[in-house]
Amino acid sequence: MPSFYEGINAEAYCACSWIGAGTGYIDPLKEMQADVLGISNGLMTKEDAIATRSGGAFRKVARQRTRDLELDRKLHLPSHMAGNLL
């Protein structure tokens, strides 16, 4: 295993972030509306919202959403892009 101080290892190890279990929802509608407002007003990031609520990884969710939209287009299904937040 490479040394912590070797190359850029220290920077890489210290820059990572841990995503724990999500907090879940008490009032899903209000909490999702709050997330949308926070994202659209620059008070939080999409990554923060996804990690906080579900414990998920933004990049994984974004890749899946892209696949979903492509399949919807291919099958001529309606795609709902609520505010195009993702």
Average pLDDT over residues 50-78: 90
Helix H or strand E segment including 36 = helix 28-40
Domain extent for 13: 9-84
User: Is residue 4 in a domain?
Assistant: no
Is the pLDDT confidence value at 7 over 60? yes
Task: Return the higher-pLDDT residue of 67 and 85.
Answer: 67
User: Is residue 71 in a domain?
Assistant: yes
**Phi-psi sector, 3: left (phi>0), alpha (psi -120 to 50), beta:** beta
What's the pLDDT score for residue 13? 76
User: Is residue 2 in a domain?
Assistant: no
Amino acid sitting at position 24:
G
The pTM of the full predicted model, rounded to 2 decimals, is 0.61
What's the pLDDT score for residue 11? 80
Is the pLDDT confidence value at 12 over 80? no
Average pLDDT over residues 16-39: 86
| Count of domains for the chain | 1
User: Is residue 37 in a domain?
Assistant: yes
